[in-house]
Structure 1
């Protein structure tokens, strides 16, 4: 009869290498390798793979296995175990996020494509081609994959911290409620004892006044307690908001990588910021292009009006707008230039020169 802690199906497990069964050895531990998912006992793994990598001892399997890859089986069905491992590996490589795509439809197409890749690897359909595509994508987008993994880890850490904070707040609220209940019970008991003692020492006419006074004191304490609870609740909400802001995830600009790849379509184009060019006050050699004034078609002036009506000057190639442009440029050329500050700065630089240099200059001039 099987023991209480061992399943009947576990007793029937037999190592394909040494043919030992758990029925004869209840402490036998089976291990699997994700290269081929063939199950064998721990003693055979130590005996065969302790000296280095070796071929799988199961007949027909030619996979090269290593001892550090062996692990205990998580699921009872080997097919489920293999599918979970494949899904974990593919999702670590194809870990694009929704905000990296132009539209929701493109993100849905990416999810469908990822499920098709997983299905092909599980069913061993075009397995070599699919693995080659995954390896190429992982090589080309290594930086974005690492950034998304770091972002997922940051989100998981912030979620765990938020859950811990909520549990601590719930425990603190329960403790405060328990303490308030005890304080209220003690106050109520003390109020009753005080009222009974006053009724015992007083007269019958004072009974109603004593009862009303006791009820008024009780209501005042209850109102003060409720206001204190509201204040504590608002303070906790403010603290929770600050903790949420502190755990803000990385922005899209911090996720670096290729804007598009041969495997995934519909990704947003990453725009590299242009370098800031030095400011050119003359705006190059393009005439009538200034950012500090706008050139008009004409300006009210008696002299300029006569020149505009001069046909001989226009026939010779003279354009009045060139005069307008030159005049406006000269008018605005001195804005932002402070001559007094520049002169004082130049004088300060001259006075800061060493005395020996000035003496040598005077001596050279005299000679």
Structure 2
């Protein structure tokens, strides 16, 4: 039965009252509520200081006998305490089961690991086989502490690298904006200086030389503008080359993780991480040599009473007809089946059909 509207409205009022001292936020607007991840019972900060300042003590909420410590009290992040508890459980489990996709033999094995991790989280959240689940989790943590710490260190390095990259990109964006503003100011000052120079020369010169002075001033401005743009382009290319060099160095100095992966029966499909082999250059023919001929040699001409008139006919040659293409196609069709042995292919096919499939149930 869904909760009534009155219970929903009263629930917000209950959340503003400390269950220990019954103080209300209505009377004390500065009151702060804290929770402890041991039992997730909420109480005000004054009760926490009063009860737990002398050391660990039992939870003062009626019916809860868990021992709490003041250092573990913190402010609630989510409004729903169930969501708060699930997030804490998920964070704790994922710190232990922190395997990465490259540690598994296949994508299916990694998907099975993710499903197993979600089942463990669901069991702890809903209270299903908690003792067994906690025991399996602790046993796995003790047996694979080395790989867990290695993955935690790698994750910390990735987070730090990402943060540094974001900071670096923000700084580059700021420098680009500053350079754009300086470029605009410099260009504006050069234009004003050029105009003042042209005006001063016009004032000091003769009226007949006005057009020549204006053209010369315009040429000077264009020359300065082109020189400035070429210098900016050179600087941008140099910065791009430096960024590419830094990325190559980062890829070359990447940590080669060869940590031991022990298959304790809790997680299946783990493998020892190997350095991937460099990719071979792309071959669009898949190793096939286009002009390679195993059984014949293509000649320039062959005697034929049918083809000789065509070879001597200028109209056929003007139309683009090439007898070499005809020779090549005809010989290829004649020798194409010499490397195919139908009996052997049929025998291999029949053997593959009759062999039982290992994946069938």
Q: 1:214 aligns with which of 217, 235, 242?
A: 217
Q: Look up the match of 1:25.
A: 28
Q: Look up the match of 2:45.
A: 42
* 1:53 CA drift (Å): 2.1
Q: Look up the match of 1:320.
A: none
SS of 2:63's equivalent in the other structure is coil
Unpaired runs of 5+ residues, structure 2, are 1-10, 275-361
Q: Look up the match of 2:257.
A: 252
Compared CA separation, residues 141 and 95, structure 1 to 2 (3 A):
same
Matched, 1:70 2:53: no
Size of the aligned set, in residue pairs, is 262
Q: 1:196 aligns with which of 189, 195, 199?
A: 199
SS of 1:119's equivalent in the other structure is helix
* 1:187 CA drift (Å): 0.7
Distance 1:63 1:249 in 2: 46
Max Rg structure: 1
Compared CA separation, residues 201 and 270, structure 1 to 2 (3 A):
closer
Superposed CA deviations along residues 76-111 of structure 1, whole A, max 9, x for unmatched, are: 111111111111111111111111111222222222
Matched, 1:99 2:93: no
* 1:112 CA drift (Å): 2.1
* 1:270 CA drift (Å): 6.2
Contact 1:259–1:270, Cα closer than 8 Å, also in 2: no
Point out the more displaced range, 9-18 or 41-50.
9-18
Distance 1:10 1:231 in 2: 66
Contact 2:59–2:68, Cα closer than 8 Å, also in 1: yes
Distance 1:12 1:88 in 2: 25
Q: 2:272 aligns with which of 269, 274, 281?
A: 269
Q: Look up the match of 2:306.
A: none
Contact 1:259–1:269, Cα closer than 8 Å, also in 2: no
* 1:200 CA drift (Å): 2.5
Q: Look up the match of 1:81.
A: 84
Matched, 1:58 2:61: yes
Q: 2:187 aligns with which of 184, 187, 192?
A: 184
Q: Look up the match of 2:238.
A: 235
Distance 2:15 2:270 in 1: 52
Point out the more displaced range, 240-249 or 91-100.
240-249
Superposed CA deviations along residues 40-89 of structure 1, whole A, max 9, x for unmatched, are: 11222222222322222212222221221111111111111111111111
Q: TM-score, length-normalised on structure 2?
A: 0.68
Matched, 1:160 2:177: no
Distance 2:104 2:174 in 1: 42
Contact 1:100–1:252, Cα closer than 8 Å, also in 2: no
Distance 1:96 1:66 in 2: 32
Q: Look up the match of 1:365.
A: none
* 1:25 CA drift (Å): 1.9
Distance 1:84 1:234 in 2: 47
Compared CA separation, residues 68 and 81, structure 1 to 2 (3 A):
same
Contact 1:260–1:269, Cα closer than 8 Å, also in 2: no
